[in-house]
Amino acid sequence: MAETEASPAEMTGEAAPAKINLALAVTGKRADGYHLLETLVVFARHGDRIEVAESSEDSLVIDGPHADALKDGDLSDNLVTRARDRLRSHLRQSGKSAPPVALRLEKNLPVASGIGGGSADAAATLRLLIRFWNAAVSEQDLRVLALSLGADVPMCLESAPLMARGIGEDIEPVEDMACLPMVLANPGVAVSTPSVFKALVSPDNPPLPPLPATRGIAGMAGWMKTARNDLAEPALSLSPQIGTCLAAIRSSGALVHAMSGSGATCFGIYESMETARQAARQIGREWPRWFVAATETR
Ligand SMILES: C[C@@](CO)(OP(=O)(O)O)[C@H](O)COP(=O)(O)OP(=O)(O)OC[C@H]1O[C@@H](n2ccc(N)nc2=O)[C@H](O)[C@@H]1O
Ligand SMILES: Nc1ncnc2c1ncn2[C@@H]1O[C@H](COP(=O)(O)OP(=O)(O)O)[C@@H](O)[C@H]1O
């Protein structure tokens, strides 16, 4: 844990938006064990936040409602620290300076929950430090750096609607998608991504259906009913609470509901932010210990 903490006035920050897989097909497996995916990804206004300030030594402070899940671990293993160190090595290789920084992570997203909090933090750290260090990094080098930190990190660099293929690095922007009113809910169980991939019965599944031409709220909800998340079944077999979470969202007035990534966070899409907020209140009353957030996609 850091010894020095800069005052908020000296800090500059970057949002680390939650990643939501609206649908996810596992379409194959590489020789190195990584799975090939086709996934439609959006990003929420809700998320973590990273702040940075000048300092005489490197430090990381973690606070926020989900900080405790990370505080016991080795901070040098945190994806924020790893992103800082990888970027610094890259810059120093070409003789550029990357002086010590005081970093603060506001951890609002549950850890190991299928909404890519760690990946979003890594991507936000890269974006923030490139700005803070006034560094020039080519698009190609940035993508390589991001992928070395995790399969989801390149897509989190974009933080806008996209279709990802490969293991997540082959990214195609999706234009003209409406901002989707959404509720995120997590029953409080951390799910290990490698365990979910291991529990998958077959890695060879059909691709997702083609996207609709009109990408309004109703259009996207209709499309999602024809799509799927191939990781839902294996995740449910490991954590049956995911079924309870999906049922709570279904009965809260969602147009459509699903699980994100490898779980356990589930989400619903609603007609309006007002219905999403009502639904979040209803789920929160019924399940006071769950993480529940009404939000909108970016
Ligand atoms: C499943 C997804 C869907 O967006 O999201 P999450 O549930 O983690 O949010 C991602 O593919 C997760 O990406 P990320 O969390 O960055 O994965 P990594 O750290 O690179 O990999 C963790 C482990 O997951 C497995 N893995 C990950 C990605 C992939 N395409 N195939 C895999 O088999 C591998 O066992 C790997 O060792
Ligand atoms: N800043 C971070 N936020 C969340 N998890 C982190 C972070 N740094 C390292 N991790 C580790 O990364 C793993 C995956 O976390 P996370 O990205 O939250 O999962 P998911 O992509 O399933 O939502 C966890 O086991 C956690 O210990």
The yes-or-no verdict on residue 144 having pLDDT over 50 is yes
The yes-or-no verdict on residue 1 having pLDDT over 90 is no
In short, whether 159's Cβ falls inside 6 Å of ligand 1 is no
CB 205 within 8 A of CB 232: no
- The CATH number assigned to the domain with range 181-296 reads 3.30.70.890
Look at 230 and 7; give whichever has higher pLDDT: 230
For atom 17 of ligand 2, the residue with the nearest CA is: 118
pTM exceeding the 0.80 threshold for the entire prediction? yes
For atom 21 of ligand 2, the residue with the nearest CA is: 116
- The CATH number assigned to the domain with range 8-173 reads 3.30.230.10
Q: How many CB atoms lie within 10 A of CB 2?
A: 16
In short, whether 37's Cβ falls inside 6 Å of ligand 1 is yes
Q: How far is CA 258 from CA 47, 84, 248, in A?
A: 19, 34, 11
Q: How many CB atoms lie within 10 A of CB 262?
A: 26
DSSP 9-33: GG-EEEEEEEEEEEEEEEEEE-TTS
**How many whole angstroms from 115 Cα to the centroid of ligand 2?**
9
Intra-chain end-to-end CA distance of the chain, in Å: 33
pLDDT at residue 2 in the model: 43
Domain 8-173 matches domain 181-296 at the CATH topology level: no
The Cα 48–Cα 172 span in angstroms is: 24
Average pLDDT, the chain: 95
Domain ranges of the chain: 8-173, 181-296
pLDDT at residue 73 in the model: 78
pLDDT, tens digit, for every residue of 68-107?
999 877 889 999 999 999 999 999 999 999 999 999 999 9
Ligand 2 site residues (CB inside 6 A) read 70, 73, 78-80, 105, 111-119, 121, 152, 193, 261-262
